[in-house]
Amino acid sequence: MNDDTKVMSLRLPQELADEVRAVARTDEASVSETIRAAIYRYVTVRRSERDFKGRLKKRLEEDREVLERLAEDG
């Protein structure tokens, strides 16, 4: 892992945490590696979904409008 990482905490139900640990042990990987891999897959799937992309573009435009308003001279 390089220096441009972000430490985040995550709360999971006990049953799911146990399952993640079991998957990690079975794959001979750390829990962190296992969770990162799952998140990468999730983000990849979401990015390929048309309706998600539409909502993302809408959010981007809304954020752009707000940021431009804030950047205007008073």
Each residue of 3-58: pLDDT tens digit? 789 999 999 999 999 999 999 999 999 999 999 999 999 999 999 999 999 999 99
Nearest to 30 by CA among 39, 38, 21: 21
- CA-to-CA dists, residue 1 to 30, 32, 33, 41, 70, angstroms: 13, 11, 10, 18, 36
Q: Which two tokens stand for residue 70?
A: 């804030």
pLDDT at 3: 79
H helices present in the chain, as ranges: 14-26, 31-47, 50-71
Yes or no: say if 20 and 10 are a contact pair by the CB < 8 Å rule.
no
Each residue of 56-67: pLDDT tens digit? 999 999 999 999
Confidence of residue 74 (pLDDT cuts 50, 70, 90): low
